Amino acid sequence: MNDIIRIGTRKSALALIQTQLVADELRQVCPGIQVEIVTKDTLGDRILDKPLQEFGGKGVFVSEFEQAIQEGVIDLAVHSAKDMPEELAKGLVIAAALPREDAGDVLVTVKGRPLPDGPLLVGTGSPRRQVQIGEMRNARCALLRGNIQTRLNKLREGEYDAILLAAAGLKRMGLFSAPEFSFERLLEKEFIPAGGQGIIAVESREH
SS3 at position 187: coil
**CA atoms of 115 and 169, how far apart (whole Å):** 25
Q: List all residues 6 or more positions away from 104 whose beta carbon is below 8 Å from its beta carbon.
A: 166, 167, 185, 186, 187, 188, 191, 193, 197, 198
**CA atoms of 87 and 81, how far apart (whole Å):** 12
Q: What is the DSSP string of 39-99?
A: E---HHHH--SS-GGGTTGGGGGTHHHHHHHHTTS-SEEEEEGGGS-SSPPTTEEEEEEPP
Which residues carry out catalysis? Answer: 83
**How many residues are there in the chain?**
207
Please give the biggest Cα pair distance in the chain. Answer: 61
Q: Within 10 Å of residue 113's Cβ, how many Cβ atoms? A: 14
CB 178 within 8 A of CB 74: no
